Amino acid sequence: MFELSDYGVAYGQSDVISGMDLTVNKNEIVAILGRNGMGKTTLMKSLIGMIPSKSGSIKLDGKEISGLKSHERVGAGVGFVPQGRMIFSTMTVSE
């Protein structure tokens, strides 16, 4: 299970995400939707540790991971593939 509780991210004094709660259960798929500039990429970058969060907690299988460095979060099972980077362009869906 993946859980966000009272999660917040800011760029300086500008809050981008504030008070977000989210629970994703095992084997569940969730889509984050929104118009340009709504914070989708900021959310994903903060979850992977590329940018710092301002408040709240991130739990993966009940363990707090918000204090982990980016490579440690990846090791724990959190991943992010940015749109349009053609990272998996030669792989099939089953691969």
Q: What single string gives the DSSP state of each residue in 26-44?
A: TT--------TTSSHHHHH
**What pLDDT is recorded for position 85?**
63
Rounded Cα distance, 64 and 88, in Å: 30
pLDDT tens-digit profile of 25-82? 999 999 999 999 999 999 999 999 999 999 999 999 999 999 999 999 999 999 887 7
pLDDT tens digits, one per residue of 4-18 = 999 999 999 999 999
Confidence of residue 89 (pLDDT cuts 50, 70, 90): confident
Residue 34 exposed, middle or buried by CB count within 10 Å (0-12, 13-18, 19+): exposed
For residue 73, give the nearest of 82, 61, 83 by alpha carbon: 61
The pair of three-digit structure tokens given for residue 43, joined into one six-digit string: 């959310």
More confident residue, 61 or 88: 61
What's the pTM?
Answer: 0.82
Domains of the chain: 2-76 (3.40.50.300)
Name the token pair of 70.
Answer: 């980016």
> Helix (H, G, I), strand (E, B), or coil: what is residue 58?
strand
CA distance 11 to 51: 9
